[in-house]
Amino acid sequence: MRGGGARVERCELCDGRIVNNRCQDCGMDYSRRKIRYQLNTTSHADDAAAVRKVMQAGAADARRARPGQTAGQSKETRSQNLQKQAAAAAGRKVTAEELRKRKADYKKRHKYYDNTFGKEKKKKSRAAMIVFLLILAALVVMNIMDERADRKALSQDEDSWYESSSYTDEFDESVLEGLEDYYSTAQEVEEKVYALDDADETSAPTPEVTEEVPAVMPAEGEAYSVELSPGRYVGGQQLPVGTYEISLVSDEYAGAVILTDMKNGVFESAFMAAEEEYGGESTVRDYQLFEGGVLEIGSGEILVTASTQNAQMDTLQEGMPNPLTESFDLTYGSRLEVGVDIPAGTYDARHLSGLGTLEITDQDGGGYSAVMLTDSLTGEERTRGYRNLLLEEGQILSVADYSTDDFKGQLVPSETVYETEK
């Protein structure tokens, strides 16, 4: 400190002023100076201390050797001498004794840290663990006490309930008497019922049990073949009884063929399609159509040929004109109740535009069938509808929600009907 101002940093070699990390007198660079300590190595701090000692000793020797030297000695000569002495001090080696002292001092300082701060840290950790265990033990004890209290309260409630309840040793005998009367009366009634059943069995004649023998398809008959579009065909009415072979008219068509006959236990179904394109069957055989059996050609783009060699033409019913004459339009959202909005009977459903599906259900929700009406991709008008659709009273006919908005169709009475519709 000089003149009460800020501390002026001085060069360690020549005692010159240091400005911007460089001595103005000797030019020594202080920009990379670091004060650090490394075990078994000579650091800059050690060198600086050595230089400082040499400088002090050199200055004292200079004063003793040249007492008559004036204060006006040139700075250049003094700087050169100090640089030589500093270089000599910086290049000397650290002796073994100095290393031993440095190691001892290092161990002493670290041992003090471990004894002071390390023990204190361990004490704090141990204290925190003890507090945690005490809190955990307290919670466990409190939980056990709560469970015991709940059990005691429950036991007291049960005792009080049994004491106040009628289910004690002094049970009301009137209840038992009432139960005995009930069971004795029920037993008497049961015996009377069995007696009446026995009397009915002995007096009533035994009914004759007749087993219904399945029909047998005749082996002989006439040759018969017809093209069928989507629709419903009944054996003995629209088609003669016989064993049929059904084939696609063209590979352009595809659809389902289903034969159902509950009376004779016959059920056949197949998906008709070109084998190489759809993986279906282009021809099915041995479809036995008995009288009353129903052969359904699925709605959509399908046209088949049904042929048989044993057609029973003599049992084929003769049709009569349909007494129904009124047609009904179908659009998106249509809903008709058979017997209310439209008379029961046999109709042909025709497609006019768009895509629509007719759903037929019973009023109680049971029974369901669907007919799809769509435009013909092949230009065949016969595939644009569904023939011989039988509507019975109580059924609901509606256009499905997934039909297109532009759908238009029509229900037209079929030309021919039969005395007994199957």
Q: What is the DSSP string of 259-308?
A: EEETTTTEEEEEEE--HHHHS-BSEEEEEEE-TT-EEEEPSSS--EEEEE
Q: What is the pLDDT of residues 335-355, one digit of tens each?
A: 999 999 999 999 999 999 999
Q: How confident is the model at residue 70 (pLDDT cuts 50, 70, 90)?
A: very low
Q: How many domains does the chain have?
A: 3
Contact yes or no for 375/351 (Cβ under 8 A): yes
Residues 310 and 326 in one domain: no
- Residue 140 belongs to some domain of the structure: no
Domain boundary among 273, 290, 315: 315
* Residues 298, 269 share a domain: yes
Residue 189 covered by a domain: no
In a domain? residue 348? yes
Q: What is the CATH number of the domain that holds 259?
A: 2.60.120.340
Residue 116 lies in a domain: no
Beta bridge partners of 258: 269, 296
pLDDT, tens digit, 9 for 90 and up, residues 135-169:
877 777 677 777 777 777 776 665 665 555 444 44
Question: Which pLDDT belongs to residue 196?
Answer: 59
Provide the pLDDT for residue 61.
55
How far apart are the C-alpha atoms of 248 and 24, rounded to whole Å?
113
| 39 found inside a domain | yes
Neighbours of 253 (CB within 10 A): 21
Q: In terms of pLDDT, which residue wins out, 83 or 227?
A: 227
Instruction: Please tell me whether residues 368 and 347 are part of one structural domain.
Output: yes
Mean pLDDT taken over the chain: 75
Same domain, 262 and 348: no
Q: How far is CA 343 from the centre of its chain?
A: 49
Residue of 351, 74, 401, 408 lying closest to 230 (CA atoms): 351
Residues 331 and 296 in one domain: no
Domain edge (last residue) among 270, 290, 315:
315
287 and 343, same domain (yes or no): no
pLDDT tens string 90-115: 555 556 676 677 667 666 655 555 55
360 and 291 fall within a common domain: no
The domain that contains 352 carries what CATH number? 2.60.120
Q: Looking at residue 26, what is its pLDDT?
A: 78
pLDDT tens for 250-269 read 888 888 999 999 999 999 99
Claim to verify: residue 329 and residue 411 sit in the same structural domain: yes
pLDDT at 16: 80
Q: Do 45 and 88 fall within a single domain?
A: yes
Does 327 map to a domain? yes
Of 389, 383, 244, which is closest to residue 302 (Cα–Cα)?
Answer: 383
Choose one of 263, 281, 315: the last residue of a domain.
315
Same domain assignment for residues 303 and 334: no
Query: Are 326 and 401 members of one domain?
Result: yes
347-403 pLDDT, tens per residue? 999 999 999 999 999 877 677 888 888 877 667 777 788 999 999 999 999 999 889
* Distance in angstroms (rounded) separating the CA atoms of residues 387 and 271: 19
Whether residue 101 is contained in a domain is answered as no
Give the three-state DSSP class for 349. Answer: strand
Tell me which residue has tokens 């059904």. Answer: 246
Domain extent at residue 286: 222-315
Predicted TM-score (pTM) of the model is 0.51
pLDDT tens for residues 180-200? 555 566 666 566 656 655 655
Quick one: pLDDT at residue 167? 44
CA angle 206, 212, 215 (to 5 degrees): 160
Give the whole-angstrom CA distance, residue 288 versus residue 241.
Answer: 8
Q: Which pLDDT value is given to residue 363?
A: 77
Amino acid 67: pLDDT: 47
Dihedrals φ, ψ of 379, to 5°? Answer: 85, 5
Residue 55, pLDDT above cutoff 60: no
Within-domain flag for 406: yes
CB 154 within 8 A of CB 146: no
Find the range with the poorest average confidence among 73-82, 305-314, 321-330, 407-416.
Answer: 73-82
Rounded to whole angstroms, the Cα distance separating 244 from 312 reads 12
Band (pLDDT 50/70/90 cuts) for residue 220 is very high
Residues 299 and 252 in one domain: yes
- Are 321 and 373 in contact by the 8 Å Cβ rule? The answer is no
